[in-house]
Amino acid sequence: MLLEVRDLAVNYSGIQAVRGVSLDIAEGEMVALIGANGAGKSSLINALSGVVRAASGTVTFEGAEIQRMSPWSISARGLIQVPEGRLVFSALSVEENLLLGATAAKGRKAQFGLAEVYDLFPILKERRNQLAGSLSGGQQQMLAIGRGLMSGPRLLLLDEPSLGLAPVIVSQVFRALMELRAQGLTTLLVEQNANLALSVSDRAYMMEQGRIVHQGPSRQMAEDPDIIALYMGQTA
Amino acid sequence: MIAQQLLNGLIVGGVYALFALGFTLVFGIQKILNLAHGAIFTVGAFVSWYVVSLGLPLLLGILASIVVCGLLSMLVEFVCFSRLRKTGDEEFGAIISSIGAGLVIMTVVQRLSNTRVLRFPFETFPVRIYEFAGLRITLLQLFMVGCAALLVLALYILIYRTSFGRRIRAVTDNERASTLVAINPNATYRQVYFISGALAGVAGVLVGLAFSSIHFAMGEPYLLFAFVIVILGGLGSILGATIAALLFGMMQTLTIAFLPSGLTNTIIFLALFLILMVRPNGLFGKEAAGALRGRR
Ligand SMILES: Nc1ncnc2c1ncn2[C@@H]1O[C@H](COP(=O)(O)OP(=O)(O)OP(=O)(O)O)[C@@H](O)[C@H]1O
Ligand SMILES: [Mg+2]
């Protein structure tokens, strides 16, 4: 297993955001993590990245326990997060943002260089000397993904890449994700849009109130009446 | 006469730039006013004086000042700011703790120097005067200009043209996002403090050479000047601080030369107030101020 999470818990002064989550991700898989607002998806991802400290449990990445490591040493190992809400370096140019991604690649050979990212998102090439903060929301999302790819990810954690994007842009971003999957990149995709996430992933976990309540192959999950019921409102 | 004063002003302005840049660099990246910066400058002058008084060459003294002041600045960060930053309420606390650090450093220097006013030995720097186009410039002044220009240029290249500078700007822009691209912000802060202290140290040596008056409190007025320069240039702006330092130097020499003594600081602060009324963000407004600090 590339990533093994066991009984992971995350607390914020009083709030138990993640309560004993266990999950596995094998090399080459695209795994979806779905759940409603506040289910604890971002907290789980942030604990994997070391951005928040896990209260208990273990995270094993490529055989090493990483739950006590700093976010910079975790990203240096190739566990790369593309954070929710984009978090690009707004006062730096588009190209500088991408090059900063490459600093996390360290010794690993990155499949993605500037040329490959620009192929994937041609608009970024057009805007490469523009400040990242002046990009549109969708373009910033592409930039955040591009930056993650430049980091030579062994495992890419994508936190709601479709958030706040127009449908056209969402399909553009997801087309890119399909391409990455075909290239064998291992991905954990966090999404509220369950249909979308289940349609591109191999397996999926569903979270509710800090716990994993469903898991299985994505196709099977997509037909599960419970899950359909949960997402009745948003079958776009 | 005016041209000569302007030239002299540019020369001291270059030294002010070195001092103010270190101050604004730290402010730009951490929103912290390091009020121990003047004391670090003082230490720079003393270290070089000591090395020279041992009979060693001045360049070695400058090198020693760079290293000692860089490390001292890192120590100030470690003692005064690093813990404080974790409380998320550092902007006020840092003012108090860095005043404290400045006092401690000054007292140590005062003790070690027995409150004496020192000067570099006469032969430290050859006295040579050049004239061109009716202007006089000494070899020492040329050296000061050279040092200042070289270091300011090096700082620009470092910050805007190297991957190291890109990392500094990334941490400045968004500390949390920087950790996701394998940057350790704490290490970056330490490096910035080293650079800041080293620049202050060199400024201290140059001031010590130019005004032959090295004493434990020599940094105090410079801290005040740095405030004016940094506010004038736009807080956190590197380009703004450089230009403001040169303007400040020229303003200062002109008022000293042509106005009754004692009015210098009054005039300078009046000018500052007037400028801030017209341009509250400093001469280099929002644009330049946002260049290092990200606007989120
Ligand atoms: N920094 C924080 N401090 C305190 N509570 C937090 C913090 N971050 C998240 N929480 C709480 O933890 C719970 C889980 O939040 P989390 O952001 O992990 O949910 P999520 O599944 O990512 O939601 P969304 O789909 O809206 O992004 C929520 O109740 C939230 O209020
Ligand atoms: Mg979330």
Q: How many Å apart are CA B293 and CA B296, to the nearest integer?
A: 9
pLDDT of residue A231: 66
Between B87 and A54, residue with greater pLDDT = A54
On the question of pLDDT at B295 being above 80, the answer is: no
A103–B183 CB contact, under 8 Å: yes
Chain B: residue whose CA lies nearest to A72: B182
Q: Do A91 and B291 touch (CB under 8 A)?
A: yes
User: In A, which residues are within 8 Å of B185 by CB distance?
Assistant: 72
How remote is the CA of residue A20 from the centroid of ligand 1, in Å? 16
Q: How many CA atoms lie within 13 A of A68 on its CB side?
A: 2
CB A94 within 8 A of CB A130: yes
pLDDT given at position B286: 56
Question: Tell me: the pLDDT tens digits for B178-236?
Answer: 999 999 999 999 999 999 999 999 999 999 999 989 999 999 999 999 988 998 888 87
Determine contact, residues B258/B6, Cβ cutoff 8 Å: no
Q: Whose CA is nearest to atom 30 of ligand 1?
A: A38
- Distance in Å from the first CA to the final CA of chain B: 48
CA of A74 to the centre of ligand 1 (A): 21
User: In the prediction, which pLDDT does B290 show?
Assistant: 42
* B136-174 tens-digit pLDDT: 999 999 999 999 999 999 999 999 999 999 999 999 999
pLDDT of res. B285 = 59
Is residue A177 one of the residues assigned to a domain?
Answer: yes
Q: Which atom of ligand 1 is nearest to the CA of A42?
A: 22
Q: Is residue A42 domain-resident?
A: yes
Note whether B184 contacts A49, CB cutoff 8 Å: no
Ligand nearest to the CA of A192: 1
What is the CATH number for A14? 3.40.50.300
- Judge whether residue B20 has pLDDT over 80: yes
ipTM: 0.92
Residue A102 lies in a domain: yes
User: Residue-wise pLDDT tens for chain A (236 aa)?
Assistant: 999 999 999 999 989 999 999 999 999 999 999 998 899 999 999 999 999 999 999 999 999 999 999 999 999 999 999 998 778 999 999 999 999 999 888 778 777 899 999 988 899 999 999 999 999 988 999 999 999 999 999 999 999 988 877 888 888 888 888 888 888 899 999 988 888 899 999 999 999 999 999 999 999 988 888 777 766 555 43
Within-domain flag for A63: yes
The structural domain count of chain A equals 1
For residues A125 and A118, the answer to whether their CB atoms sit within 8 Å is yes
Spell out a b/e string for A109-122, using b for 16 or more CB atoms within 10 Å of the CB, else e: ebebbbeebbebbe
Looking from the CA of residue A13, the nearest atom of ligand 1 is 4
Residue A97 belongs to a domain: yes
Contacts of A101 in chain B (CB under 8 A): 181
Per-residue pLDDT at B291 exceeds 70: no
pLDDT in tens, B100-129: 999 999 999 999 999 999 999 888 888 899
Substitution target from B180, B189, B296 for chain A, most A beta carbons within 10 A: B180
- The answer to whether residue B59 scores a pLDDT higher than 50 is yes
Q: Is residue A159 part of a domain?
A: yes
Q: Which domain holds residue A82?
A: 3-231
C-alpha span between B241 and B231 (Å, rounded): 8
Contact between A72 and B184 using a beta-carbon 8 Å cutoff: yes
* pLDDT at B287 exceeding the cut of 70: no
In a domain, A236, yes or no: no
> Nearest to residue A175, comparing CAs of A192, A196, A190?
A196
Ligand 1: atom nearest CA of A43 is 18
Q: How far apart are CA B154 and CA B204, in angstroms?
A: 18
Which residues in chain A are contacts of B167 at CB distance < 8 A? 100, 103
Q: What band does B282 get if pLDDT is binned at 50, 70 and 90? A: confident
**Model pLDDT, residue B294:** 41
Q: Is the Cβ pair B182, A104 closer than 8 Å?
A: yes
Q: Distance between CA atoms of B142 and B132, rounded to whole angstroms? A: 13
Residue A43 CB less than 6 A away from ligand 1: yes
Q: Residue A38: CB within 6 Å of ligand 1?
A: yes
Q: Residue A229: its pLDDT value, please?
A: 73
pTM, to two decimals: 0.90
Chain B partners within 8 Å of A53 (Cβ): none
